[in-house]
Structure 1
C-alpha cells in the first residue's frame, strides 16, 4: 500500500473514533433514578400537635386517613398510658378518661397506609394549669332519706365568679316530674329546690360536672360530684303560735297534736318567727346558750333544729305548766319529754316546719332560708 493511501486510511479511522468519542462523551446523560413515593397514610390529632392550655375534659383523638393504626398510645408525664379505645376499623383512637391539669401528653405508635408503607404516630400537647382548683360538696349525700322540703345544696371552698358556667354543669333528674330551679344564695353556695314540696318517695339523682369548668380568675373545678337520694313520706309540722299546739301531718292526715309553748309574744327577741323552715339536724341532747338572756350550758333532750337563728323543737319538762297554755320560751318550741321523744322519732332532716301567727317574721339570711323566699324571688337568683 502506498504511503498516501495509508495516510488516508488513518485519517478516516481517526475521524470515526472521534465521532464515537463525541457521541459517547458529549451526548445527553442517562435518566436519573425516580424518588420513592411519599407514604399515603396521614395521621392527625385533636387537639393539634404542640397545642397548649388544652382543657383536660376536651375530646382527645388520633385519626388516620388512607390507612389504619398498627398501634397508638398516649402517655402522661410519668409514662403512664391514658385509657382509650381504638375504633373497630382501626382508623381512630379516642381517650375514654379526662386528662390531668398542667400535664404534657405524648403520642406514640405507627400506622400502615393503603400503599403498605408505615408512618410514625408522634406529637405532644399540654393541658392548662389552673391558678387554683376549687373543691365543692353536695348535700344530700348518697342513699340519704330526707323530707319533702329538703333543698339540694352545692357549696364551694372559694367564691365563684362565673356562676353561669358552673350552673350549666349542674343537673337534677327525678323519678317523677318535679318543677324546680337553682338559686345562688351566696358566692359560695347554689341550691336547687322544687317550686312546691317534693312528691313523697321521689328518687333524685344529682350530677355536677365541675371538673374542667372555669370558675373565673383562673380557678377551675377540682372534681365532678354525684349524689342519689330519696324523698321520704310527706310529713309537715305546723306551728300556729296562738293555738299553743304543734300539729304533725303525715301523707295529708293529722297524726299528732302536741301541747306546746312558743316564743314570748311580746318580746321580738324571743318570738318564734313566721316562716317555712326545715329540720336541719337532730340531737338526742343539745347544750343551749343565750348570753343575751343569761343562760349557759342548758341541757335539753330530743332537739330538732329548724333554724340557724337558734330555734329548735325540744323537750322542756321544766316548763310543763306553760305547755298548751302560754308562750314563754326564748324562741324554741317547748314540748313535754314524752311528746318531744314521740315527735323526734318521726322527724326526717328536710321535713318542713311552718310557723304562722307570730308577731314577727324571719328575714331570709340565716342558713337554711330556701323556703323563706317566694318562687319569683327564688328564680331571680338563677345565673342562667
Structure 2
C-alpha cells in the first residue's frame, strides 16, 4: 500500500507542474504579459533638438521591427516629403527644411513580438544671422567663347569659410576638361580650364549653396545652377608693333584687319599685354574722356575686352593711322567695315591676346582670370 501512495503523490505533483495554464502555472503567464515591446524607434534629429542644419535629412529607424507609418510636418501642418526603405526599417526625408522652423514627427512600428510602438517629437532648425544671395555666370542656354570663366559672386557679403562654399560647387562637362576654382577675392570664386575650352563643350554647373555656412552667421540663400555651351574656337591676337589684328578660327588665320593700337611712347596709353576676354558688345559706344579733352565721342561696333578701358571698335576718324601707327589711348581702332565684320563674329568669352606693348594689363579688370599663371591659379583654391 505504501508504494501505491507514493505513486499517486508523484502523479499529482507531475500534473501540477506540467500545465502552465492551470491554477498552479499562473506565474509564467504573468511574466509574459508584463514584458515590454522589443521594437525601438529612434529619430535624427532627436526630440527637442535646436539649431538643426537644414541640409541634413531627417531619419527615423526601428530596431527589432518594421515601421508602419512616419509623418513629418512643418509648423503649418503640411507634410514634408520622404520615403520608407524597402525593408521598412527606416524612413528618410527628401525635402530640404526651412530656416528657423519647427517640425514634428510621428512614427509607429510593429515589433517582431507583434506589439505596436510609437515615437513623437519636435525639433527646430537654425536661424541664420543673414542669408546673402549669390549669382552665377554664364547664364542658362548661353553660348560663349573658349576663354569664358565660370563666375560665382556674393554681392551682399564676404565669404569667410571658402572651403565650405567650394565643396558645394560642381562642374560637369561633356568632354574631359581640366580646370580649377580660384578665389579672386572674398566675394568671387571663378572656375576656368587650364587651357581654352574645347569647342562645342556642354557645361553644367551646380552650386548647392542653400544651408551652407559662409561664416559670420551667414548661410546660403538658395542653390544655383546653369547649363551653357562653348562655341567655336575664335582667338584674337594683337601684336601692337605690327599695326594689325588677326582673328584665328580653330588655330588657323580667319581674318586680318589693319589697326591702330595704344600709343607706343606712353605706357599709360598702351594696349596692355595679356590674355583678356570679350566682355561686352555694343553697336555704339561712348568713348568720351574729358581727362584728355574730348567729349561726345561715339564709335560704332564697340567690343569691350577689359574694364581697364580697352575696346576693339571703329574709328574712321583715325583712318590715316590705322595699319601704320599706334595713336589710340589704349583701344584697338579698326576701319568701320572691318569693325562691323569682327563685331558680328565675336562671342562673349572669346580670348583677346595682346603682346608687344611696354605695359602689362593690371589685374584690376573684372575678368583677369587668364592673367594668372596656372600653378598660381590652382593655389587660389580653398581646397588646394
Q: Same fold (TM over 0.5)?
A: yes
Q: Secondary structure at the match of 2:228?
A: strand
| Structure exhibiting the larger radius of gyration computed from Cα positions | 1
Q: Show the counterpart of 1:87.
A: 85
* Counterpart Cα distance in 2 of 1:381 and 1:296: 41
Contact 2:308 2:364 in 1 (8 A): no
Shift in alpha-carbon separation, 1:380–1:89, aligned structure 2, 3 A: closer
Report whether the alignment pairs 1:40 with 2:9: no
Q: Show the counterpart of 2:283.
A: 284
Q: Show the counterpart of 2:70.
A: 72
Q: CA deviation at 1:299?
A: 1.3
Q: CA deviation at 1:96?
A: 0.7
Q: Show the counterpart of 2:19.
A: none
* Counterpart Cα distance in 2 of 1:273 and 1:242: 12
Q: Show the counterpart of 2:327.
A: 328
Contact 1:61 1:94 in 2 (8 A): yes
- How many equivalent residue pairs? 355
Report whether the alignment pairs 1:146 with 2:144: yes
Q: CA deviation at 1:280?
A: 0.4
Q: TM-score of the superposition, structure 1-length normalised? A: 0.89
* Counterpart Cα distance in 1 of 2:73 and 2:290: 62
Match of 1:114 among 90, 112, 115: 112
* Counterpart Cα distance in 1 of 2:275 and 2:182: 17
Q: Show the counterpart of 1:22.
A: none
Q: Show the counterpart of 2:54.
A: 56
Q: Secondary structure at the match of 1:197?
A: coil
Q: Show the counterpart of 1:132.
A: 130
Contact 2:288 2:298 in 1 (8 A): no
* Counterpart Cα distance in 2 of 1:246 and 1:33: 99
Q: CA deviation at 1:65?
A: 2.0
Q: CA deviation at 1:149?
A: 0.6
Q: Show the counterpart of 2:160.
A: 161
Q: Per-residue CA shift, 1:16-56, capped at 9, x if unaligned?
A: xxxxxxxxxxxxxx989766432222111012222221111
Q: Secondary structure at the match of 1:254?
A: strand
Contact 1:72 1:121 in 2 (8 A): no
Q: CA deviation at 1:110?
A: 2.4
Contact 2:268 2:359 in 1 (8 A): no
Q: Show the counterpart of 2:314.
A: 315
Report whether the alignment pairs 1:177 with 2:192: no
Q: CA deviation at 1:109?
A: 4.2
Q: Secondary structure at the match of 2:366?
A: coil
Q: Show the counterpart of 1:99.
A: 97
Q: Secondary structure at the match of 1:122?
A: strand
* Counterpart Cα distance in 2 of 1:108 and 1:64: 13
Q: Show the counterpart of 1:20.
A: none
Q: Per-residue CA shift, 1:210-251, capped at 9, x if unaligned?
A: 111111111111111111111111100001111111100001
Q: Secondary structure at the match of 1:121?
A: strand
Contact 1:110 1:121 in 2 (8 A): yes
Q: CA deviation at 1:141?
A: 1.2
* Counterpart Cα distance in 1 of 2:274 and 2:115: 77
* Counterpart Cα distance in 1 of 2:126 and 2:270: 54
Q: Per-residue CA shift, 1:261-320, capped at 9, x if unaligned?
A: 111111223211111100001111112232211223321111110000111111111111
Q: CA deviation at 1:380?
A: 2.3
Q: CA deviation at 1:105?
A: 0.8
Q: Per-residue CA shift, 1:66-86, capped at 9, x if unaligned?
A: 222222100011111101112
* Counterpart Cα distance in 2 of 1:230 and 1:367: 22
* Counterpart Cα distance in 1 of 2:85 and 2:177: 40
Q: CA deviation at 1:125?
A: 1.2
Report whether the alignment pairs 1:304 with 2:303: yes
Contact 1:149 1:350 in 2 (8 A): yes
Q: TM-score of the superposition, structure 2-length normalised? A: 0.89
* Counterpart Cα distance in 2 of 1:186 and 1:132: 20
Further displaced range: 82-91 or 330-339:
82-91
Further displaced range: 243-252 or 281-290:
281-290
Report whether the alignment pairs 1:236 with 2:235: yes
* Counterpart Cα distance in 1 of 2:106 and 2:358: 74
* Counterpart Cα distance in 2 of 1:224 and 1:82: 19
Q: Secondary structure at the match of 2:317?
A: helix
Q: Secondary structure at the match of 2:362?
A: coil
